[in-house]
Amino acid sequence: MASPPPAVTAEVERILPDAVGVAQTRERWILKRGRALTDSEIALARRIGVQEPERVRISTVQNFRTPEPKFGGPNPSICAITSGHGIQVNSLCPRQRHILAHELTHVTQFERLGMLEFEREFLIQMILVGSTRAPLETQARENETLGD
């Protein structure tokens, strides 16, 4: 989002190093332990626009923390979190392709923006408009139908 208020910019810059650190750590963990996409999942990733679907890994865990300290804490209502090419799925959520389509959209956003800029933009959007109106989330929700 262009030109956020100075107070928002200051808050984002304060928490950004932690958010990026958590995202990088999560991505490394998932890339080491996660499974590769199946052929049909690779086809979905390509349809959504993922440039390197072979790099994407999925790890399923019982619970996890959101990547931003401001929004952190165990949250069983979150079904998945994407960090770079790593997708972490909450085992308490049903497996549905629309969730994968949503998260693969975030992979395309990471590929386009890079980790630092994705996290910066995500934080700004969460603070200014919340997840229901954040453009990064809106795009991901719009692509959920591609998983059906």
Distance in angstroms (rounded) separating the CA atoms of residues 75 and 65: 7
User: Mean pLDDT across the chain, nearest whole number?
Assistant: 90
141 CB-near residues (< 8 Å, 6+ apart):
102
Mean pLDDT of 10-22: 94
Query: pTM surpassing 0.85?
Result: yes
Give the pLDDT band of residue 91 (cuts 50, 70, 90).
Answer: confident
Q: 17-57: per-residue pLDDT in tens?
A: 999 998 999 999 999 999 999 999 999 999 999 999 999 99
Residue bearing the bigger pLDDT, 30 or 130: 30
Mean pLDDT of 51-69: 80
Q: Are strands 35-36 and 80-83 parallel, antiparallel or unpaired?
A: unpaired
pLDDT value of residue 95: 75
Distance in angstroms (rounded) separating the CA atoms of residues 6 and 64: 31
108 CB-near residues (< 8 Å, 6+ apart):
48, 49, 50, 51
pLDDT value of residue 5: 95
CB 82 within 8 A of CB 106: yes
Give the pLDDT band of residue 65 (cuts 50, 70, 90).
Answer: low
Distance in angstroms (rounded) separating the CA atoms of residues 116 and 121: 9
pLDDT value of residue 69: 44
CB 128 within 8 A of CB 8: yes
pLDDT value of residue 78: 79
